[in-house]
Amino acid sequence: MHLIAPSILSADFARLGEEVTRVLAAGADWIHFDVMDNHYVPNLTVGPLVCQAIRPLTTAPIDVHLMVQPVDRIVPDFARAGASLISFHPEASLHVDRTIDLIRAEGCQVGLVFNPATPLDVLDYVIHKLDLILIMSVNPGFGGQAFNPAVLPKVRAARARIAASGRAIRLEVDGGVKVDNIGEIARAGADTFVAGSAIFGAPDYAQVIAAMRGELARVAA
């Protein structure tokens, strides 16, 4: 089943609650919540207080993408703020296996995020503990960047690893996802799609999400 996770990074922050409600009414499955710290990435966004503020608006999963360093200190705060999944970049944690266990112990689902130049090797040791693998198709830090097609082989490789693991792990792609490339990304093996500017930059969110689902239906057929 294909899932669409709009990134609120491109929403109107002056009306964030309304934007969350609107995009879910338009057919979104998850809310993708980008956390940037001006340290691991050169941008600064939102923290647990904002996650807590939007949590009562919906029962849809909140997909927290941590682009922060260090990781561990902030994990319990996001769990308390209502995060459903928490994903982090292996480069940002000194002890990747420990961070995975911490997220699980805090009652959240666990994801690992791979930058365009980060190999998947760490999966050899931890894939059996994951619920989500997130492949970045841009360098993290900003919305509105162009999709990097060089990550498509990595999406295929991640799909093969998931199949070999026998686990129900979602394979998410983040960065530059649009109506005109979502089909090719799905064909490479992704099942969960983050889209920020493609959705929030359009006047009619429902129309973009429906067009994305139309492309995905053609892949499934």
102: amino acid identity, one letter? L
Q: In whole angstroms, what is the distance from residue 1 CA to residue 16 CA? A: 28
Q: To which H or E segment does residue 133 belong?
A: strand 132-136
* CB of 87 vs Zn ion, minimal distance in Å: 8
- Other Cβ atoms less than 10 A from the Cβ of 113: the count is 22
Is 12 one of the annotated active-site residues of the chain?
no
Is 34 one of the annotated active-site residues of the chain?
yes
Candidate ranges 23-31, 95-103, 168-176, 182-190; the one touching ligand DX5 (CB under 6 A) = 168-176
Strand order in the sheet with 3-6: 3-6, 192-195, 170-174, 132-136, 109-114, 85-88, 62-67, 31-36
Structure tokens at 170: 């979602």
Q: Which of residues 75-104 bind ligand DX5 (CB under 6 A)?
A: none
Residue with tokens 């360098």: 139
27 in the Ramachandran plot: left (φ > 0), alpha (ψ -120 to 50) or beta? left
Q: Which of 101, 174, 191, 204 is catalytic?
A: 174
The residues, any chain, with a CB within 8 Å of residue 99's CB and separated by 6 or more, are: 71, 72, 75, 88, 93
**Which of Zn ion, ligand DX5, none is residue 82 near (CB under 5 to 8 Å by kind)?**
none
- Structure-derived torsion over alpha carbons of residues 186, 110, 48, 140, reported in degrees to the nearest 10: -50
Candidate ranges 82-90, 154-162, 169-177, 205-213; the one touching ligand DX5 (CB under 6 A) = 169-177
* CB of 120 vs ligand DX5, minimal distance in Å: 18
* CB of 166 vs ligand DX5, minimal distance in Å: 29
Q: Which of residues 30-69 bind Zn ion (CB under 5 A)?
A: 34, 65
Under the binding rule (CB under 6 A), the answer on residue 196 touching ligand DX5 is: yes
Under the binding rule (CB under 5 A), the answer on residue 174 touching Zn ion is: yes
**Which of Zn ion, ligand DX5, none is residue 87 near (CB under 5 to 8 Å by kind)?**
none
Residues of the shown chain interacting with ligand DX5 in the complex, contacts defined by CB under 6 A: 7, 9-10, 32, 34, 65, 138, 140-141, 143-145, 174-177, 194-198
Active site residues: 34, 174
